[in-house]
């Protein structure tokens, strides 16, 4: 009888080495890129990656597009309403392994108290033990959502009839995790 118990690992996001950003088409042809400066999250997994769970919480008022008036508009009730809904959250329901270190994160994304199922692709870039003896892993995460699915319905048209802000928001993150033993 094998009584060995699989190890459970908890990894925390290193906020100093992680970047969580988004991009959206603006004025039909141009892209606006922004990031969240404050966030926290964990990745819990067994030795073989089984029973993995990803949790992420972004602080809405930390959103930064390098334009104060645009940031204020995005944080207002027209878009994210940071005063009423201070966090955007993601919680995985499954992590599917694919070829070449790719993982698909299936989960629930909540924006403005609206929760929808989403899938993000994550690429494992490597795991190391740093000079202080901490085990670190890096992932690149990508995906897209339709902002209107989450109640972000503000719209305006350009003089030529195109939308000022597209429906699709691209989400990108380079996440460095530290294993908590």
**What pLDDT, on the 0 to 100 scale, is given for residue 123?**
94
Distance CA 68, CA 98 (A): 40
Domains of the chain: 9-180 (2.40.128.110)
Q: What string of pLDDT tens digits covers the 181 residues of the chain?
A: 444 555 789 999 999 999 999 999 875 568 899 999 999 999 998 766 557 899 999 999 999 999 999 999 999 998 999 999 999 999 999 988 888 778 899 999 999 999 999 999 999 999 999 999 999 999 999 999 999 999 888 675 445 544 567 888 999 999 999 999 7
């Amino acid at each position: 009888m094998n009584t060995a118990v699989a190890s459970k690992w908890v990894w925390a996001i290193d906020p100093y080495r992680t970047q969580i950003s988004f991009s959206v088409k603006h004025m039909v042809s141009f892209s606006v890129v922004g990031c969240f400066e404050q966030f926290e999250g964990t990745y819990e997994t067994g030795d073989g990656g089984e029973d993995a769970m990803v949790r992420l919480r972004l602080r809405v008022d930390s959103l930064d597009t390098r334009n104060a008036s645009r940031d204020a508009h995005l944080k207002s009730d027209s878009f994210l309403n940071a005063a009423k809904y201070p966090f955007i959250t993601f919680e995985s329901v499954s992590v599917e392994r694919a070829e070449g270190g790719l993982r698909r994160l299936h989960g629930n994304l909540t924006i403005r108290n609206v929760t929808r199922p989403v899938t993000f692709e994550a690429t494992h870039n490597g795991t190391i033990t740093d000079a202080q003896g901490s085990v670190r892993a890096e992932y690149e995460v990508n995906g897209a959502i339709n902002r209107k699915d989450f109640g972000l319905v503000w719209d305006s048209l350009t003089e030529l009839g195109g939308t000022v802000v597209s429906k699709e928001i691209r989400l990108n993150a380079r996440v460095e995790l530290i294993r908590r033993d």
